[in-house]
Amino acid sequence: MAPVEAEKFLSYEAGPEVEEFANALDDCLSTPLSNEERRGRILDLPRKYYENALRRLAQVRPRMMRNGQDDVDMDADDDVANSNPASAELVKRLEREAQTWDLLRRLLPLRYDSSDNGQSASKTEQSSVDSGDLFKSFLASDSSARERQAVIQWLQSNASSGPDIDELAHELQQNADRGDIIAHGWLHTRSSIKLRKSVTAWPHLLDRQSPAIATSFHTSDGSPLVTQLDPDAATRQGRKLEPQDEYFERAIWLGCWEHLRRGSSLDTIREWCQERTEMWRAISTSAILLSADDNQEVTDTKPASLALWRRMCFSLSRSGGCDDYERAVYGVLSGDIPSVEKVALTWDDFLFANYNALLRTQLDNYILGQCPADVASNLTQSFPSFDAVQFHGEPRTVDMRLIRALEANPQIKDEANEPNKALQASLISKEIGQHLYQQGLIISSGANQNESTLYRSKPSKLEVNKERFFQSTQHYGLRIVAHIYLLINLMDKLNSKDDSLAPAFSPPEMRRSQQNLIAGYANYLRLAEFHELIPLYCSILEPPRSYEVLSYNLIHENEASRRLLQLRLIRKAGIDVLGFVKTQAWLLFDDLGPAQHGCPAKEGFSIIEPGPPTSRSGRPVRPDFFGDDERFVDQAHENLIRSLEWLVLVQETWPNVLSMGTKIYKFFLRNMHLSAARQLMKRVPFSEVLHAATEESGDEMELYEDIPEFWARQLDRRGIRDVTPQQALSDARNFRELENLVRALDSLETVASLAELTNEDQKKKREFWNAIGDEVKNTKENMQPLLKNWLLVGIEGK
């Protein structure tokens, strides 16, 4: 790994969740399981990832609080997050990640429902109808309703993690001017009415006191004041409460809205209202309460009454109430959109308003179907309701159009373009394939020069809004999208379905771009030094892409023991080891680019010093004609040598070592990359390849036979059928003779360098002449193969 890459990586997070995610995935893939067991484990992965994100979030939040409490100079009213913006940003990031996994764990089982589950649903529907539970029977009869309920419950869960409801209403409660008293209704209005009665000694309703009461009885700010204290008094009389009580009323309705928005159970709402002596509000929500859990039942109410109740709520949402939150509460209960959107603040709020309306419209249609025809007709004609299904139009594309509308809403446009939210939106609208395709384009386009070969993608002309996607440096986001891709990909394979992420009609580059997410994540694992996890993730990909990603991420391993470990992990992951090492060598050779015409070495290579010969030494050999630094080898050339080292480790691939090694030698020598050729000669010697082929130890000259029969025996021993004995003989001969050439050149350079570096004092030392003698002897021996038909047999054979 290059030092630049190491320094670059130091600024990025590589927490324990990387290994924890991988361990959970490995538990699904490595163990022999039946399809149903594997399906269950894969569908359980989002839950594990969700709980993992929650644990990390719980660890960060106490740290934030401690940091805020330790800052004694901070004003008490300041937000703790402002004192530690880095931690605040981390909290937001973890919250968004947890929300994404929560959404996926709710939707994935619904979209990949097994046949057994389908039969179970039918039985559930029948038993639900028998028991009179309309809501459950409705859900069992409509798959789109089940999915919308899942999204609504997800939105409710997201909202429930917000501030405490009493904190939200705190400012309104303070303006109500009643101290800590949260019960006993309209205190200030009641006092005004009592005062008027005591002053006038009138024991009855003020309405009956005098016709002029309407013009003479006012609030403290001059508005007409109600004369009665029942909940409908303000709406019925068209009058107002005392200003303090209006704040109190707004605080109550804000609390009720938040409970509905968070999916609180009826018991929770009833308890909250009882504390405020406002039980009638809890009762008004109780007919059909869509709570965040699955325990909601509608069993004791007739269908006609439920349909009528919805229409009464709709009337109140449009023309009743004195406050936006009051109308929003009835808007939620009736499935209205405008009244709910009026108090919406976030992307989640707007989506909740629309999905709640769609689900309640579907439920209303189901309920009307349970009513007698004349009753249903009378209800629909006499009492209006909001039909969200008709409002949104074509049911098949409603989710996509709704998401587009939210993206265009100026109030929430920035939030809609946030990467986590855009990812969640694509899951909801079933556009996850297109989203991952564009995310893959962003990852590959952000690759640096060293990483570009990993993706091997052509630049796309598709215009993408980069704000909506994780950038290549946001490794936490890459982890999320990579795991979402593999989860859906695994479920498609398990269900034998068409690739839902890249259907047959999609552009040909779509699948490859999506796979860039796994490629990018594997590269991140390499940078984070989680090399052992790379084969697991590459097993998600199909060959040859799995070989490509393995090749570029494992070529950096330079220890034989580490390579052998990786080969065992690759085999365990179900990847063909032979296919991997063969593909790796070809890929790296292909990365050199198209073959150049001509032979640069023919014109530019010389080992003899320029100038006329001298009488004493003739034309001396140039010292260091291999290069000034024998350790320097271009990275692309180094990778070629490493690919042969990988090939040697797999015994069945020794013919490929010989054939590919010959090509590499020719490339190095033709282009005068002599240092690389010398490294190849030292690190992948012919003797090592011969030992791998024969599985025998001994001297090269004793083992080697330059006849086809010898190589036929070696091929048969390994069951290699795609190489002929004659081809193996030719490759072995060429490889060996090119190695001899490099060895001879190396010896010549060594002798020349020694002669260049010596001085008169060294020449007087015996050790110097012993070294010279040894090198001259080696040079003579290494020159011998070049003097005996070197390469001629191969040339004549052609």
CA distance 522 to 512: 15
Distance of CA 478 to the CA centre of its chain: 5
pLDDT band (50, 70, 90) for residue 455: confident
**What is the average per-residue pLDDT within 21-34?**
92
Lowest mean pLDDT among 176-185, 557-566, 715-724: 176-185
Query: 3-state DSSP: the chain helix, strand, coil percent, rounded to 5?
Result: 70, 0, 30
> What percentage of the chain has pLDDT greater than the value 90?
52
**Statement: residue 565 has pLDDT above 60:** yes
In this structure, what token pair is assigned to residue 187? 């205190």
What pLDDT, on the 0 to 100 scale, is given for residue 66? Answer: 54
pLDDT of 794 over the 50 cut: yes
Cα torsion through 379, 382, 383, 385, rounded to 10: 80
CA 532/CA 553 separation, integer angstroms? 11
**Inter-axis angle of helices 303-319 and 373-382, nearest 10:** 0
Higher pLDDT, 747 or 269: 269
Burial status of residue 75 (CB atoms within 10 A of its CB: 0-12, 13-18, 19 or more): exposed
CA pair distance 668, 745, nearest whole angstrom: 13
For residues 106 and 356, give the distance between their C-alpha atoms in angstroms, rounded to a whole number.
Answer: 17
User: pLDDT band at 478, cuts 50/70/90?
Assistant: very high
Residue 218's DSSP bridge partners are: 224
Sign of CA dihedral 186, 191, 197, 200: negative
pLDDT band for 65, please (50, 70, 90 cuts). Answer: low
**In 417-508, which ranges are continuous DSSP H helix?**
419-428, 432-445, 452-455, 475-494
Cβ contacts of residue 701 below 8 Å, gap of 6+?
Answer: none
Q: Residues 720, 722, 725, 730: is their CA dihedral positive or negative?
A: negative
Q: Which positions ≥6 away from 265 have C-beta within 8 Å?
A: 289, 291, 292, 293, 295, 296
Characterise 791 by phi-psi region: left (phi > 0), alpha (psi -120 to 50), beta (else): left
At a CB cut-off of 8 Å and minimum separation 6, what does 21 contact?
Answer: 49, 52, 479, 483
pLDDT for residue 135 is more than 70: yes
Give the integer Cα–Cα distance in Å for 372 and 387.
Answer: 20
Q: What is the pLDDT of residues 181-239, one digit of tens each?
A: 565 666 666 676 666 555 554 555 655 545 555 555 566 666 777 777 677 767 776 67
Q: Does the pLDDT at position 8 exceed 50?
A: no
pLDDT at 696: 81
pLDDT at residue 259, as a whole number? 94
Q: Is 581 a residue whose pLDDT tops 80?
A: yes
What pLDDT score was predicted for residue 37?
93
For residues 508 and 547, the answer to whether their CB atoms sit within 8 Å is no
CA torsion sign for 568, 569, 575, 578 is negative
**Hey, which residues does 621 pair with through a beta bridge?**
608
Position 128 pLDDT exceeds 70: no
C-alpha angle with apex 644: 640 to 645, nearest 5 degrees? Answer: 115
Conformational region of residue 361, where left means phi above 0, alpha means psi within -120 to 50, and beta covers everything else: alpha
Q: What is the DSSP string of 217-240?
A: -B-TTSSBBPS--STTHHHHHT-B
Cα–Cα distance, 736 to 717 (Å, whole number):
22
In 296-431, which residue ranges form alpha helices assigned H by DSSP? 303-319, 324-334, 338-341, 347-370, 373-382, 388-392, 398-408, 413-416, 419-428
pLDDT, greater one: 750 or 509: 509
Higher pLDDT, 163 or 607: 163
Return the structure tokens found at 531. 């090399």
User: Among 658, 650, 635, which residue's Cα sits nearest to residue 738?
Assistant: 658
Taking 60 as the threshold, does the pLDDT of residue 28 lie above it? yes
DSSP label at 335? T
Specify the pLDDT at position 86: 65
Q: Is 608 helix (H, G, I), strand (E, B) or coil?
A: strand
Computed from CA positions of residues 253, 259, 260, 261, in that sequence, does the dihedral angle turn out positive or negative?
positive
Amino acid type, 749? E
* Model confidence pLDDT, tens digit, residues 325-356: 999 999 999 999 999 999 999 999 999 999 99
Model pLDDT, residue 48? 98
Taking all residues of the chain, what is their mean pLDDT, rounded to a whole number?
Answer: 83
What pLDDT, on the 0 to 100 scale, is given for residue 617? Answer: 63
For residues 351 and 155, is the Cβ–Cβ distance under 8 A?
A: yes
**Cβ proximity of 138 and 299 under 8 Å:** no
- pLDDT band of residue 70 (cuts 50, 70, 90) is very low
Helical H runs in 298-342? 303-319, 324-334, 338-341
Output the 3-class SS for 56-102.
HHHHHHHHHHHHHHHCCCCCCCCCHHHHCHHHHHHHHHHHHHHHHHH
658 vs 292 pLDDT, higher one = 658
User: Cα–Cα distance between 718 and 720 in angstroms, integer?
Assistant: 5
Q: What is the DSSP letter of 402?
A: H
Question: 438 near 462, Cβ under 8 Å?
Answer: yes
50, 101 contact by CB (below 8 A)? yes
Mean pLDDT value across residues 781-797: 66
CB 398 within 8 A of CB 337: no
Name which of 550, 555, 479, 541 is nearest 513 in CA terms: 541
* Burial profile 579-618: b = 16 or more Cβ within 10 angstroms, e = fewer: ebbbbbbbbbbeebeeeeeeeeeeeeeebebeeeeeeeee
Better-predicted residue by pLDDT, 431 or 202: 431
Dihedral sign, Cα of residue 576, residue 582, residue 585, residue 587: negative
Length of the chain: 798
DSSP per residue over 757-780, as a string?
A: H--HHHHT-HHHHHHHHHHHHHHH
113 contacts: CB under 8 Å, gap ≥ 6: 121, 143
The DSSP secondary structure of 520-569, one letter per residue, reads: HHHHHHHHTT-GGGHHHHHTTSPTTHHHHHHHHHHTT---HHHHHHHHHH
Stated as kind and residue range, the H or E segment containing 140 is helix 134-141
The half-sphere exposure of 757 on its side-chain side, counting CA atoms within 13 A, is 11
Both tokens of 493, joined, read 């394979």
Residue 195 CA to chain centroid, in angstroms? 66
Write down the pLDDT at residue 232: 74
Whole-angstrom distance between the N-terminal and C-terminal Cα of the chain?
A: 42
Among candidate residues 447, 520, 534, 527, the one with its CA nearest the CA of residue 485: 520
Global pTM? 0.87
Q: Are 714 and 658 in contact (CB under 8 A)?
A: no
Residue 116: is its pLDDT beyond 60?
no
CB 668 within 8 A of CB 637: yes
Lowest mean pLDDT among 37-46, 293-302, 526-535, 642-651: 293-302
Q: Distance (Å, rounded) from C-alpha 517 to C-alpha 529?
A: 18
